[in-house]
Chains A and B, each alone.
Chain A
Amino acid sequence: MSGAGRHLAFLCPRYAGAAGAGGAETLIKSLAQRSVKAGYRVTFLTTCAVDHFSWKNVLPPGSRIEDGLEVRFFPVDEGRDEAAFHAAQDRLCRRASIPPDVEVQWFRHGVHSSALLTHLREEGGQYDRILAGPYLFGLVIAAAQQSPDRTWLIPCLHDEPFTRLSVIREMMTRVRGCLFNSEPEQRLAGRIFGFDPRRGVVVGMGLEPFEVDPAAFAARHKLHSPYVMYAGRREPAKSTPLLVDYLDAFRKRTGQDVRFVCCGSGPFEQRSFVKDLGFVTEREKHEAMAGATAFIHPSRFESLGIVLLESFLAGTPGLVSSQSEVLRWQCARSGAGLWWRGYPDFEEELMCLLSDRDLRDRMGRQGRDFVRSEYAWEAVDRRLFEALDRG
């Protein structure tokens, strides 16, 4: 397994730098770093934007070394009509059928970088393979259109309205192959696009094991009641308002004083039982996870569920929405999590985890073992480089 002599380009509209980014950006950067370690020559192509709402050029353009990677930053095209993009996105999310003009608006006013595309057109011949993602950005679609036969897409696919766009269907059909995060994601691609499983490989992302004191977080924050936890973006698309409503009802109906610890970005409805940490260090997050009764992931749209896997590594069981095929799959195959259909299941399952310490500990141990074997970097490397060597 050696990448000697092969030059890979990783393309992602945002670079997961010090300011942080989403799970997909972190995943793509991690795969690029592993490729460098394996001996591939790697160039990371990205934009100067940090924020995925405004796509304002914040970082200076040019080439520099970041986190051991050669990163080339290109400016996002100016003159993008943000309002038109959001209007098209809203229409797209609300309608069963997509009028062609809405799709054109969505694509035209999405994020683009002519400078990056020019680089690919004029100097892209040096790259043996281009690994691009996630699927729903105009820049990724345009880059894949330029050299589909050399592009491996890392789609990070969710069952959401964008998947019905014809440009995305075309991209999925024409690219060399797809690197999926999980088997349910690959099945979803099959259901939506008729994607041939032989053109896809389930790779995922490696997670580094960690050891933390499960009592440290509660002691530092003077938390004397049991708590459950969520980490990540807080927004309706991630169903975090639903989780707060569920916990509120749970506390009122059962009389259990369960606290809710959450960290990450986005607005949050403040309630007396919520401890909102905002952005925290990785260590603080892992300590909070390790001390929690359960890590609750209410989102329906996940392609891997990195934070759920991190909580498994911390020895904490998961409690997830059955609406997410991926999260349910992770819980079932690890034996480290339960899933709910609606509030009644949620109440019974949380009560079960609160009252049965032995079950919680056993599930926690299973989760840790599971992630250490399935999401060890060695296992992920093997899947990734076998795919690249094959095609």
Chain B
Amino acid sequence: MISLGAPGIDTERIVADIQATVERKMKDGLYADVRVAAAERTHLAVLQKEESFAEYYLQCLREAALVDINDFEIRERRSFGAALLVRLKRTIWALLRFYTYRLWSQQNQVNSLLVTGLESQDARQAARLLVLEARVAELESRLGGPPVRGVPS
């Protein structure tokens, strides 16, 4: 028979402590970061069983919803002809931006509206749940406590 639980370091406790720290930091918005959203892109589908999935999913979605169409620093690693290459790249980027700006700004608008819609749905569901839970608690207190499992009421 395989024995369970090694003496010494309690990794269950370490993980529980780390999870508590993570939850605190998440509330403080320390993981509201587009880089976290990008890292989770292949993971979100498997997180659905987690209780906090919807909240975390929405947070990631919010961070990832907007396509970045701002200018950025254009560099060239090769030293030979660097200045010319940078100028060429800047011209290409300016043309791309000019011709795709309408498309991406519309896409951003759609994405933002979708996220807002999802967030409002989530908030409404949460509010309804709260009301229902309060009603159940009130009914239970009137009946003298929650029903005992397995005993038909």
Cross-interface CB contact of A342 among B14, B25, B38, B56, cutoff 8 Å: B56
User: Which one of B16-24, B65-73, B122-130, B133-141 is at the interface?
Assistant: B16-24
A385: chain B residues at CB < 8 Å are none
**Provided the pairs A245-B41, A344-B31 are in contact, do residues A183 and B11 lie with their beta carbons within 8 angstroms?**
no
Q: Which of these, B6, B15, B31, contacts A339 with CB under 8 Å?
A: B15
Provide the residues of chain A in CB contact with B10, threshold 8 Å.
335
Residue on B with the closest CB to A369?
B6
Binds A, one of B42-50, B82-90, B91-99, B103-111: B42-50
> What distance in Å separates the Cβ of B126 from its nearest Cβ neighbour in chain A?
20
CA distance A281 to B105 in the complex (A): 53
Residue of A nearest to B30 (CB): A344
Verify if A363 is at the interface (C-beta below 8 Å from B): yes
| B side interface size, CB within 8 A | 33
Question: Of A236, A239, A345, A374, which contacts B19 at CB under 8 A?
Answer: A345
Which residues on the B side are within 8 Å of A204 (C-beta)? 2
Looking at chain A's contact residues, the main secondary structure is: helix
Q: Which of A236, A245, A336, A369 has the most CB of B within 10 A?
A: A245
Question: Which residues from A are CB-within-8-Å of B7?
Answer: 335
Q: Given B2, B11, B41, which contacts A363 in the complex, CB threshold below 8 Å? A: B11
Query: A129 vs B7: C-alpha distance in the bound complex, in angstroms?
Result: 39
Provide the bound-state CA to CA distance between A343 and B35, in Å. Answer: 10
Residue A211 CB within 8 A of the other chain: no
Chain B residues whose C-beta falls within 8 Å of the C-beta of A248 in the assembled complex: 35, 39
Q: Most chain-A CB neighbours within 10 Å: which of B18, B19, B25, B39?
A: B39
A337 to B25, CA, bound (A): 23
CB nearest neighbor in B for A251: B35
Check A352/B18 contact, CB under 8 A, given A236-B42, A335-B10, A341-B50. Answer: yes
Q: Does A359 interact with chain B (Cβ within 8 Å)?
A: yes
Interchain Cβ contacts within 8 Å, total number: 96
| B6–A335 touching, CB < 8 Å | yes
Contact assessment for B9 and A343 in the assembled complex, using a CB-CB cutoff below 8 Å = no
A245-B38, A249-B36, A335-B10 are contacts. A183–B2 as well, Cβ < 8 Å? yes
**How many Å lie between the Cα of A209 and that of B9 in the bound state?**
22
Question: In the assembled complex, which residues on chain A have CB atoms less than 8 Å from the CB atom of B36?
Answer: 249, 253, 343-344
Instruction: Point out the residues of chain A lying under 8 angstroms from B50, CB to CB.
Output: 341-342
User: Which residues on A sit within 8 Å (CB–CB) of B9?
Assistant: 335-336, 359, 362-363, 366
Of A114-122, A258-266, A289-297, A326-334, which stretch is located at the interface?
A326-334
Top 3 closest pairs, chain A to chain B, by CB:
A249-B39, A335-B6, A245-B39
A-B contact pairs, 24 of them (CB 8 A): A236-B42, A239-B43, A245-B38, A246-B39, A248-B35, A332-B11, A333-B4, A335-B10, A338-B18, A339-B15, A341-B50, A342-B43, A342-B47, A343-B31, A343-B40, A343-B43, A344-B25, A344-B36, A345-B22, A348-B22, A359-B9, A362-B8, A362-B9, A366-B9
